[in-house]
């Protein structure tokens, strides 16, 4: 495996930026935007090919609540637990370490 990628076999704590809806629910920023993410439930990553976006059928999370390349307007960082994770080193301007996860669970506040 490339040194830029690292596979994790255990659960990790991470951060994910979600779209914050007016009713208080959260959803994806770009892909499958209508889906409301339930809190506290384990969710498998699904494939939703979307025109204009690279096909990456994983949950995208970060090691820290930081993604300078994305606006935080109308969005909220939530702590998550992830499993089936591949770690990717990205430039600091994109938040540094990213996790691509097969499963995700959003922690309650």
**5 or 95, greater pLDDT:** 95
Q: What are phi and psi of 8, to 5 degrees?
A: -110, 135
Interval 56-98: pLDDT, tens: 889 999 999 999 999 999 999 999 999 999 999 999 888 899 9
Question: What pLDDT score was predicted for residue 4?
Answer: 58
pLDDT for the residue numbered 6: 63
Q: Is 2 helix (H, G, I), strand (E, B) or coil?
A: coil
- The model's pTM is 0.87
Structure token pair of residue 26: 């959260």
What is the per-residue pLDDT for 109? 77
CA separation for the pair 51, 54 (Å, rounded): 8
> Is there a contact between 31 and 48 (Cβ–Cβ < 8 Å)?
yes
| pLDDT given at position 53 | 87
Give the pLDDT confidence of 32-65 residue by residue, as tens digits.
989 999 999 999 999 999 999 888 889 999 999 9
Backbone angles phi, psi at 62, to 5 degrees: -125, 160
Instruction: Give me the pLDDT at residue 27, please.
Output: 97
Residue 2 pLDDT greater than 60, yes or no: no
φ, ψ (nearest 5 deg) of residue 55 = -75, 110
Query: CB of 63 within 8 A of CB of 16?
Result: no
**pLDDT for position 1:** 42
């Amino acid at each position: 495996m490339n040194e830029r990628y690292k596979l994790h076999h255990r659960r990790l704590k991470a951060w994910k930026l979600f779209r914050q809806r007016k009713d208080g629910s959260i959803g994806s920023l770009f892909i499958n935007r209508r889906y409301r993410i339930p809190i506290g439930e384990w969710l498998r990553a699904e494939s939703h090919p979307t025109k204009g976006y690279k096909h990456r059928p994983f949950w995208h999370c970060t090691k820290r609540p930081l993604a300078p390349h994305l606006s935080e307007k109308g969005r909220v960082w939530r702590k998550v637990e992830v499993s089936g994770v591949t770690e990717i080193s990205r430039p600091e301007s994109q938040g540094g370490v990213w996790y691509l996860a097969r499963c995700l669970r959003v922690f309650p506040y």
